[in-house]
Structure 1
Amino acid sequence: MRTVKPLLFIAISSLFCSHLAWAQPAGLPDATRTPGSVDTAVTQGNIQSTVCVRGYTDRVRPDKKYTNRLKREQLRQYQYADTDPRKYELDHLIPLNIGGNPTDPQNLWPQPRDGEWSAEQKNELEFIVYKMVCRGEVSLSEAQQRVAKNWVDAYQAWVPSRRHWLPSRRRHDD
């Protein structure tokens, strides 16, 4: 009986600890593998000649050969149950359109295309936060930091109102 209790304790503790290790919130990358990385050439002072210029992301986006190889490698590292690359988008945690690093693996991760917090919602956030940065509604660094820290929280804060889809309007107070 004395041997059973310690073994039972070890078994339960191991199960609990392994659950904690995998308790990553849905839709978020593993922060140790993908903390985010910025392109140091993009600054608040030059956004109107870099990220806010039409076609910017096409010019800096890495080629498919690089991203396909990295996606396969990261799918193994992330240890997803389903490793079919078609079910994932290799996503820039800090989006290119707000100065995310195009090629740093610390800014890229295999984001599931399905689920509650999928690539579709992240792409919607990316467009809105890009508009906010280019309109001066939020600083480049704040946008980068909030998206990198928790893009789901940023989505919940900035997307639901959809006010960013509309042209800016000034309020006239008497």
Structure 2
Amino acid sequence: MFAGIAVCAACGGHSAAAPQSANVNAAALAVGESSTPLPSPDSCHLGSRNGQSVPDPACTPGAINPGVTQANIDSTICKSGWTKTVRPAVSKTNKMKAATAKAYDLPAGETGEYDHLVSLELGGAPDDPRNLWVEPGKIPNPKDAVENKLKDAVCSGLVPLATAQTAIAHSWTTAYDDAGLRIANGKVCLRADPSRCAGRQRGDDTGE
């Protein structure tokens, strides 16, 4: 539920709705570190929620990019093409993906996206293993659409950046509810005030 619109000096030009109470644990996510060690083989286990795959929270709790803050979203995640400037090189992520697949004990040849739990377009850490897992299934996948809508909500000022980050890290399958949002007529809107909806903000970025 949301009490209304709170305008703050650090909101980067956007007015973000202030939640009355959090639906998820508001503990701060880890700040990304590329030196974080990869999990060891067979140490992680895929979960399932609402019929969709979710990562092991012990191995993949999510981590955020310290260079993205509420104050600078206009020049980072809300700027078209920005994610290309922070996306890790494939030569690096291919090696990380192979190690992560072993950590999750995935069968050889398993189809899946090496996914940022907190997506780059939501200020997720680019190359911290705590923010990366092999999401089984087709590419693109249902999680991508959730990431895009959450980004729309942040860049339209419906919810603060931290709210969206925490919601997607907690469980992408319930992220709309956890962030106090709903989808109506293809748009993401405030659950407490359905008349307030986000415009499409994604530019040429896509969720991952």
Please classify the TM superposition score into its range, dividing by the shorter chain length: 0.7 to 0.9
Q: Which amino acid aligns with 1:50?
A: T
Q: State the TM-score, normalized to the length of structure 1.
A: 0.74
Q: Which amino acid aligns with 2:79?
A: V
Q: Secondary structure at the match of 1:27?
A: strand
Q: Does 1:77 align with 2:81?
A: no
Among 87, 109, 113, the alignment partner of 2:133 is: 109
Q: Does 1:124 align with 2:148?
A: no
d(CA) in 1 for partners of 2:137 and 2:182?
A: 19
Give runs of ≥4 in structure 1 deviating > 6 Å: none
**Cα distance change, pair 152–167 in 1 and its aligned pair in 2 (3 A):** closer
Deviation at 1:84, TM superposition (A): 1.1
Q: Secondary structure at the match of 2:57?
A: coil
Q: Which amino acid aligns with 2:72?
A: N
More strand by percentage: 2
d(CA) in 2 for partners of 1:122 and 1:110?
A: 12
Q: Does 1:54 align with 2:75?
A: no
Q: Which amino acid aligns with 1:90?
A: Y
d(CA) in 1 for partners of 2:198 and 2:129?
A: 35
Q: State the TM-score, normalized to the length of structure 2.
A: 0.63
Deviation at 1:163, TM superposition (A): 1.9
Unpaired runs of 5+ residues, structure 1, are: 1-20, 169-174
Q: Which amino acid aligns with 1:55?
A: G
Q: Does 1:44 align with 2:70?
A: yes
Deviations 1:103-143 (A, max 9, x none): 101001000124xxx85111111111111110011100000
| Contact 1:128–1:159, Cα closer than 8 Å, also in 2 | no
* Number of equivalent positions: 143
Over the residues paired in the alignment, what is the CA RMSD in angstroms?
2.3
Q: Does 1:91 align with 2:112?
A: no
Q: Which amino acid aligns with 2:120?
A: L
**Cα distance change, pair 79–155 in 1 and its aligned pair in 2 (3 A):** farther
Q: Which has the larger radius of gyration?
A: 1
Unpaired runs of 5+ residues, structure 2, are: 1-43, 190-196, 200-208
d(CA) in 1 for partners of 2:117 and 2:168?
A: 7
